[in-house]
Amino acid sequence: MLLFNAQNPHFGSSHMIPFSVLDLAPIKQGSDAAQAFRNSLDLAQHAERWRFKRFWLAEHHNMTGIASAATSVVIGHVAGGTKTIRVGSGGVMLPNHSPLVIAEQFGTLESLYPGRIDLGLGRAPGTDQLTARAMRRDLATAAENFPHDVLELQALLGDVKPNQAIRAVPGMGTKVPLWILGSSMFGAQLAAMLGLPFAFASHFAPQMLMPALREYRARFEPSAQLAKPYAMVAVNVFAADSDAEAQRMFTSLQQQFINLRRGMPGPLPPPVDDMDALWSPAEKAGVAQALAISAIGSPGVVEEKLKALIADTAADELITTGQIYDHAARLRSFEIAADVRDRLAGQTAL
């Protein structure tokens, strides 16, 4: 875990950064997508009551453990069942789509749920190469066109220009807020150049977190959407009433990770008592590295880890995620995260 840095400007102020939720709409072993969607909506309704700022869903394809492939549809489901929390994509993988289609989808969402929709954009395919081809992607050029596609999408959601031939209906004039998602320097540089908020996928790719944040803040150019840099940091949170219970819950994600790396992705498995019976030393080390940005434990342990992460990164917002098998335990984990946020806010107000 990163070290505490008392130079973070957030500490010692009267304001605590907001927490948000990233949901992969997990399909558990023995369950199905319909139950995953019910669980996602229930989590979002609880997150709203617990004053999380936003609830994001992620696009993945051909993943039997993730139900949010049709991301905009699930966003509509969640936004329709909530009232105030912002709902959005974390993210839409733009190379899989034409900018016009995404502008129409998110223009529709913004028209239905005004002032509550976010559009986070990534350039990865969100799947394997075979599935990407099945989605009719041009693998050679799709990622290269990402910056241009972001600009095209931004224009389609913006004010209509004179003699503009192609319009997003709905979409034009809605100015849905765009975010750039990334796990490398590329996303940081693009977000800075376009003056957009930046969300870093440190919950599974922590290695470049600090260099990317430095690059984003150093290169940031103000835009019509954003006057100064705004960085969101993603973190796995597995919180429970005891450290042992939290560590056990975490084994579901650990299993899911090694299954994915073995080329056998599947539904979210139940927790186990002994991970060492399931993985090799090399797999254990690899998963530990990938999931290094995690807060796992009892409320006090989670509080210290999140406090250190905020201090070290000077994050403007944390987006918390937890692939937890038992839905009640998942709710409890996010409730603890909300309590931690409130306790940290009390500390910064002193």
Question: Domain spans of the chain?
Answer: 19-348
158-207 pLDDT per residue, tens: 999 998 899 999 999 999 999 999 999 999 999 999 999 999 999 999 99
What size, in residues, is the chain?
350
User: Rounded to an integer, what distance in angstroms lies between the CA atom of residue 172 and that of residue 208?
Assistant: 35
Parts of the chain with a pLDDT under 50: 1-14
pTM of the model: 0.93
Q: Which pLDDT value is given to residue 34?
A: 98
Helix (H) or strand (E) holding 72: helix 71-80
Q: What homologous superfamily is domain 19-348 in, according to CATH? A: Luciferase-like domain (3.20.20.30)
Number of neighbouring beta carbons within 10 Å of residue 349? 11
Q: Which pLDDT value is given to residue 3?
A: 36
User: Rounded to an integer, what distance in angstroms lies between the CA atom of residue 16 and that of residue 306?
Assistant: 12
Q: Which pLDDT value is given to residue 126?
A: 59
Hey, what are 70's tokens?
């049709």
Q: Which pLDDT value is given to residue 132?
A: 73
Among left, alpha and beta (phi > 0; psi -120 to 50; other), residue 167 is beta
